[in-house]
């Protein structure tokens, strides 16, 4: 694997990009990080993800892998000698895929309503978001991580959202510590991992970014 | 509680995908037809998150989400491989299966669309079909020379669309617009695996025709 060329096309606040940063860090894979300007996408991005034109894109020896959860599984399968990200048992693996898919289906849209809308729509978003987190708390139970004793696929799929929590709390006027204390405890545990701490942006920086977005969308 | 049970619906693409995967592996299973207006206790307990079919129960342990179930079946049971072995090819297969699932609602909407919205809805569906058409340019099936994971995932676009088009009179797929897709579909519909694993065309046509009638007679 010494001559592997790994490039990550990413955008610093993206909780989806963070998944790949964390996975690559867990596997200790050297890669080149390329920051994309989403208002002015690079020819490389458009070439590597012509269908969705979205980040993140993992480019391994010139070949692109798109869709963040798919790319994390790819990373796990290729760099299989270190830090397994998915469980070894097929049933546990199926559960991990189920929950990563749940996060993709449910969390982003409701969270977006919290910072991106007002009034009734925002209230609905808040409710859905908290409900989602409560469901995830139920799944976590008393385990230290979603993967059990080991940090893994579902933890990686979810933790990036934590970097947006200060923004959700500010614009949504909610206290995640009060509404989902187990979730916050889990998140703080994950933040103690090097791979996570180095991959997530500062929450205040994210807040500033959202502030600009809100002005753009006329919500501010 | 041993053995394999599938909670499903005869006429559901997602349910049929799972049955197809079980047949590929030669797995004996008990099929339980659910009534969505009156969901069984077993279904509600086995899939509390979505309360949807299909759900596979293997030795009493439930797995939900058809693509997750198929990957589980591929990993646990002996027999021909459903997903490719190479990690990159697996990532590509997962990408296309996800694309099909995510874009299905847009195609479905266009088939049932009426009035002013129809043109816009059809445009969106055409975009999806164009992407699929392009992907099939140099291939016999999505899986290459033989049927694979993506072809199983594509049962809705391959089998169901034509039937709904006949029932509603809305035509999305023409060989002028989508030559490669039509060539794939012809091979698909003629291959034994598809013939054995799809519901009765007459039954589905009858069902959709009655839905068209219900829409026509419904509240305006």
Q: Is residue B82 part of a domain?
A: no
Instruction: Identify the domain containing residue B163 by its residue range.
Output: 87-217
Residues lower than pLDDT 50 in chain B? none
What's the gap in Å between the CA of B153 and the closest CA on chain A?
A: 16
Task: Give yes or no: residues A71 and A94 share one domain.
Answer: no
Q: Do B63 and A98 touch (CB under 8 A)?
A: yes
Instruction: Indicate the pairing of strand A32-35 with strand A6-10.
Output: parallel
- Note whether A1 contacts B: Cβ–Cβ < 8 A: no
Judge: A77–B90 Cβ closer than 8 Å, yes or no. Answer: yes
CB spacing of A77 vs B71 below 8 angstroms: no
Residue entry with tokens 């992907």? B135
Range with lowest mean pLDDT among A57-66, A90-99, A115-124: A115-124
Kindly state whether A138 is in contact with chain B, defined as any CB-CB distance less than 8 angstroms: no
CATH number at residue A59: 3.40.30.10
Residue A83 lies in a domain: no
**pLDDT on residue B220:** 56
Over residues B88-126, the pLDDT tens digits come to 999 999 999 999 999 999 999 999 988 888 999 999 999
A154 and A120 in one domain? yes
Give the rounded distance of the alpha carbon of A119 from its chain centre.
27
- A68: containing domain: 6-78
Does B103 map to a domain?
A: yes
The answer to whether residue B68 neighbours chain A at the CB level (below 8 Å) is yes
- What's the mean pLDDT when you consider all of chain B? 95
Final residue before a domain boundary, out of B76, B104, B127: B76
Same domain, A67 and A123: no
Identify whether residues B93 and B190 lie together within a single domain: yes
Contacts of A220 (CB under 8 A, 6+ apart): A211, A214
Q: Decide which of B53, B76, B99 is a domain's last residue.
A: B76
> A125 and A169 share a domain?
yes
Q: Do both B98 and B204 map to the same domain? A: yes
Q: Do B102 and B192 belong to one domain?
A: yes
In a domain, B81, yes or no: no
A66 and A174 fall within a common domain: no
B94 to A67: CB separation less than 8 angstroms, yes or no: yes
Q: Are residues B128 and B212 in the same domain?
A: yes
ipTM above 0.90, yes or no: yes
Residue that terminates a domain, selected from A47, A78, A109 = A78
Does some domain include residue B193? yes
Nearest CA to CA, how far is A43 from chain B (Å)? 19
Residue A1 pLDDT class (50, 70, 90 cuts): low
Number of domains in chain B: 2
Q: Which of A51, A67, A98 is opposite residue B131, by nearest beta carbon?
A: A51
Cβ–Cβ below 8 Å for B71 and A74: no
């Amino acid at each position: 694997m010494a001559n592997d060329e790994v490039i990550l096309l990413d955008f610093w606040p993206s909780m989806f990009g963070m998944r790949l940063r964390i996975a690559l860090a867990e596997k200790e894979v050297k890669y080149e990080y390329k920051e994309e300007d989403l208002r002015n996408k690079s020819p490389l991005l458009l070439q590597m993800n012509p269908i969705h034109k979205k980040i993140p894109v993992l480019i391994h020896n010139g070949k692109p892998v798109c869709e963040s959860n798919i790319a994390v599984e790819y990373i796990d399968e290729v760099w299989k000698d270190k830090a397994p990200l998915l469980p070894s048992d097929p049933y546990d693996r199926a559960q991990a895929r189920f929950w990563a898919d749940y996060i993709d289906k449910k969390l982003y849209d409701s969270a977006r309503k919290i910072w991106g809308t007002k009034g009734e729509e925002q209230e609905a978003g808040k409710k859905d978001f908290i409900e989602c987190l409560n469901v995830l708390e139920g799944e976590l139970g008393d385990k230290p991580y979603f993967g059990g004793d080991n940090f893994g696929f579902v933890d990686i799929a979810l933790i990036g959202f934590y970097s947006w929590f200060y923004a959700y709390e500010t614009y949504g006027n909610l206290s995640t510590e009060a509404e989902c204390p187990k979730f916050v405890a889990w998140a703080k545990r994950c933040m103690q991992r090097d791979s996570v701490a180095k991959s997530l942006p500062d929450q205040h920086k994210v807040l500033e970014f959202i502030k600009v977005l809100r002005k753009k969308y006329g919500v501010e | 509680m041993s053995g394999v049970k599938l909670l499903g619906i005869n006429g559901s693409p997602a349910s049929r995908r799972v049955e197809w995967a079980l047949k590929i592996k030669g797995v004996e299973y008990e099929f339980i037809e659910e009534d969505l207006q009156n969901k069984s206790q077993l279904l509600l307990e086995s899939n509390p998150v979505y309360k949807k079919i299909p759900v596979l129960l293997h030795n009493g342990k439930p797995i939900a989400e058809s693509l997750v179930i198929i990957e589980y079946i591929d990993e646990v049971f002996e027999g021909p491989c459903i997903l490719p072995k190479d990690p990159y090819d697996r990532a590509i297969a997962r990408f296309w299966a996800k694309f099909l699932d995510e874009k299905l609602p847009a195609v479905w909407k266009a088939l049932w669309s009426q009035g002013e919205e129809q043109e816009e809805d059809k445009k969106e569906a055409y975009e999806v079909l164009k992407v699929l058409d392009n992907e099939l340019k140099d291939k016999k099936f999505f899986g290459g020379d033989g049927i694979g994971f993506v072809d199983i995932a594509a049962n809705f676009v391959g089998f169901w669309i034509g039937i709904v088009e006949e029932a509603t009179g809305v035509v999305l797929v023409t060989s002028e617009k989508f030559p490669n897709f039509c060539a794939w579909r012809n091979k698909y519909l003629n291959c034994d695996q598809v013939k054995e694993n799809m519901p009765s065309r007459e039954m589905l046509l009858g069902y959709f025709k009655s839905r068209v009638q219900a829409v026509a007679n419904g509240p305006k």
